[in-house]
């Protein structure tokens, strides 16, 4: 393993994603899994439902 690769792996290990990035990743995961099962699911639908759920939690 090269030193550059070791540095990148260490940076990835210690990286802390922002709350916005975590939310973006969560939505991407939801879209990928739901669209796989139902091609009618769109990213807009996932975003809209995530926003609705966020309102319910407040």
Phi and psi at residue 38, in whole multiples of 5°? Answer: -145, 105
At 58 the pLDDT is 61
Residue 7 lies in a domain: no
Residue 8 lies in a domain: no
Model pTM? 0.71
Per-residue confidence in pLDDT tens, the chain, 58 aa: 899 999 999 999 999 999 999 999 999 999 999 999 999 999 999 999 999 998 876 6
Residue 33 lies in a domain: yes
At 54 the pLDDT is 85
Residue 45 lies in a domain: yes
At 32 the pLDDT is 96
Residue 31 lies in a domain: yes
Domain around 31: 18-57
Counted domains in the chain: 1
At 45 the pLDDT is 97
Packing angle of the helix pair 19-37, 43-57 (nearest 10 deg): 130
> Around 5, how many Cα atoms within 13 Å sit in the side-chain half-sphere?
2
Measured between its terminal Cα atoms, the distance across the chain in Å is 47
Residue 41 lies in a domain: yes
Residue 11 lies in a domain: no
Whole-angstrom Cα distance, residue 23 to residue 37? 21
Residue 34 lies in a domain: yes
Q: Say if residues 46 and 34 touch (Cβ distance below 8 Å).
A: yes
């Amino acid at each position: 393993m090269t030193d550059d690769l070791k540095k990148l792996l260490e940076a990835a290990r210690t990286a802390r994603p922002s709350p916005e990035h975590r939310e973006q990743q969560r939505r991407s995961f939801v879209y990928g899994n739901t669209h796989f099962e139902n091609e009618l699911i769109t990213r807009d639908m996932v975003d809209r439902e995530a926003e609705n759920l966020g309102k319910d939690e407040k």
